[in-house]
C-alpha cells in the first residue's frame, strides 16, 4: 500500500489574506481619487505618474485576491507527497532524488515556512507555472535558498517535513 500525504491550504488564513488584499485595494483606490483631486496643484504629468504607480500596485493586490479566491473556491491542495516524490502547486512533481534539502525555517517573524532546495533548479523550468518560470533566473542570480517554499497549510509543518525526510532517505 502506498503512503501518501495531502497538504491542504489553511482556509481561514486564506480568507484573512483576501480581506487584507481587499482593504489594501480600497486604500489604493482612495489614494487614486485623492491624487486625482491634486492635478491643479501638482501638475498633470506628476499626477499621471503617481496614478500609474497606484494602478500597478492595485493590480498586484487584485491579482492576489483573485488567485486566493480561486484557491478558496476550487479547494486546490498546496502539495502532495508520496513514496516517489512531492507535487507542489505551481512547481509540479519533484522526485525525492532531485531534492537536496527539506526543512522548516522562520524567514521574518513568527511564521514557520517549509523550504525545499532542489539539486538542479533548471530541471524544473519545463514543468513549472509561468510565474515560477519567470522567477527561476532571478533565484539563480541571487543564489536564493530555499528554491521552493510552502506556507499557509492546514496541517503541522513538522508532519510534512518528517514525511519528506523519511522518504528522502530511501
- Lowest-confidence segment of 29-38, 116-125, 138-147 by average pLDDT: 138-147
Mean pLDDT throughout 43-61? 89
Share of the chain above pLDDT 70, in %: 99
CB 95 within 8 A of CB 84: yes
Mean pLDDT throughout 138-163? 82
pLDDT of residue 170: 66
Task: Note the pTM of the prediction, 2 decimals.
Answer: 0.72
Q: Report whether pLDDT(41) > 90.
A: no
DSSP 56: H
CB 128 within 8 A of CB 92: yes
Confidence class of residue 1 from pLDDT cuts 50, 70 and 90? low
pLDDT of residue 169: 74
Q: Where are the domains of the chain?
A: 10-74, 78-168
- Kindly tell me the sign of the dihedral angle through the C-alpha atoms of 93, 99, 102, 108: negative
| pLDDT (tens digit per residue) in 100-121 | 888 888 887 788 889 898 888 7
Q: Rounded to the nearest 5°, which phi and psi values hold at 37?
A: -75, -10
Average pLDDT over the chain, rounded to an integer: 85
| 100-109 contacts at long range (C-beta below 8 A, 24 or more positions apart) | 101/146, 102/161, 102/164, 102/165, 102/168, 103/146, 103/161, 104/157, 104/158, 104/161, 105/146
**More confident position, 87 or 138:** 87
C-alpha–C-alpha distance, residues 160 and 110, integer Å: 19
Amino acid at each position: 500500500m502506498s503512503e501518501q500525504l495531502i497538504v491542504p491550504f489553511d482556509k481561514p488564513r486564506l480568507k484573512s489574506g483576501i480581506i487584507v488584499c481587499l482593504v489594501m485595494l480600497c486604500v489604493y483606490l482612495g489614494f487614486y481619487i485623492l491624487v486625482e483631486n491634486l492635478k491643479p496643484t501638482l501638475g498633470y504629468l506628476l499626477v499621471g505618474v503617481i496614478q500609474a504607480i497606484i494602478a500597478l500596485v492595485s493590480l498586484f493586490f487584485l491579482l492576489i485576491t483573485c488567485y486566493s479566491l480561486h484557491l478558496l473556491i476550487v479547494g486546490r491542495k498546496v502539495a502532495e507527497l508520496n513514496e516517489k516524490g512531492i507535487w507542489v502547486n505551481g512547481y509540479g512533481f519533484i522526485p525525492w532524488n532531485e531534492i537536496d534539502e527539506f526543512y522548516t525555517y522562520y524567514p521574518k517573524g513568527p511564521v514557520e515556512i517549509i523550504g525545499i532546495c532542489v539539486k538542479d533548479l533548471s530541471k524544473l523550468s519545463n514543468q513549472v507555472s509561468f510565474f515560477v518560470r519567470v522567477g527561476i533566473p532571478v533565484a539563480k542570480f541571487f543564489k536564493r535558498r530555499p528554491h521552493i517554499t510552502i506556507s499557509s497549510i492546514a496541517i503541522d509543518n513538522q508532519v510534512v517535513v518528517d514525511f519528506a525526510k523519511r522518504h528522502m532517505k530511501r
